[in-house]
Amino acid sequence: MPIEAWSDEITIAELGDEPAFSEDMSSLMQRLDADQDEIPDMIVNLSSVTYLNSSNIAQLLRLRKKLNTAGRNMRICAVEDQVWGVLMITGLDKIFDFTDDVTTALASLQLTD
């Protein structure tokens, strides 16, 4: 997964389908655990994700909790229709903040800082 430090304050994570999704999320969480003093705002780009399973949802919720605990923000962007349906059915469309694309997510995070 490309994890790009867009700035000192914002990181962009581009996720893919399983098994890469779980591996990439584990790697991302380890990276955040290693740098607990400097946890950035996070943009999670789901443009390459075509489905979510319960494990993926749990990983996204753990990431959200870690960021919230650190006082940081998270935006999920570029959600495909099938994935959006899963998020709506599970009620997670009300839990996460969504944007259409990475550019909009960047602008949104920059405005909240």
pLDDT digits (tens, 9 = 90+) for 93-108: 999 999 999 999 999 9
Q: Which amino acid is at 36?
A: Q
- CB neighbour list of residue 87: distance below 8 Å, 6 or more residues apart: 52, 79, 93, 96
Provide the CATH number for the domain around residue 66.
3.30.750.24
pLDDT at position 1: 52
Give the count of domains, the chain.
Answer: 1
Give the integer Cα–Cα distance in Å for 48 and 33. Answer: 25
Looking at the predicted structure, is the pLDDT value of residue 113 above 70? Answer: no
- What is the residue range of 25's domain? 3-112
Q: What is the pTM of this model?
A: 0.92
Q: Measured between alpha carbons, how far apart are the two ends of the chain, in Å?
A: 26
> Among the listed ranges 11-15, 49-53, 97-101, 108-112, which one has the minimum average pLDDT value?
108-112
